[in-house]
Amino acid sequence: MSFFGDIFAGKSQQAAANYNAKIQERNAKIKDQEAKQIMSVHNEYSVPKFDKTVEQIQGKTRVAYLSSGATQSGTVLDALYEQQLELETDKDIMQYNAENARDTAENEAIQMRADAALSRWRGKVAKKASYYAAGQSLLSTAAMFS
């Protein structure tokens, strides 16, 4: 009766592979949502907060220079310009990091979908192999009785 056991084993392996594929696809959807959330938080929270902080820093710097009696020319203007460049560079780095985190999450989702497809394929192969094993078992049993 190995024939029925082989068939049952193949169907069970395929069912397990399909179940694993569903889990992998669910996890891929979660990664897609995470990718969207990363950019949403960055654009709606991090960037406005950074911009507000930049305005505060620049305002305090201008007040400090002006209260010391310096005019906004020459070295003071150069210092303000350098500060602006540094702050813009920091903002660019924040943008890069957010985009990199988003891309990483999207790539993980793609990989999870590929793993799901591979799980399904392995399940189909296991099922087909079980039919061959069942056929071999049936032929072996028939040969014993001939």
pLDDT in tens, 102-117: 999 999 999 999 999 9
Quick count: other Cβ atoms within 10 Å of Cβ 143? 8
Q: Is 119 exposed, middle or buried (0-12, 13-18, 19+ CB in 10 A)?
A: buried
pLDDT at 143 > cutoff 80: no
Dist. CA 122–CA 131, nearest whole Å: 14
pTM of the model: 0.71
The confidence score (pLDDT) of residue 78 equals 85
Burial tier of 104 (Cβ tally within 10 Å: 0-12, 13-18, 19+)? middle
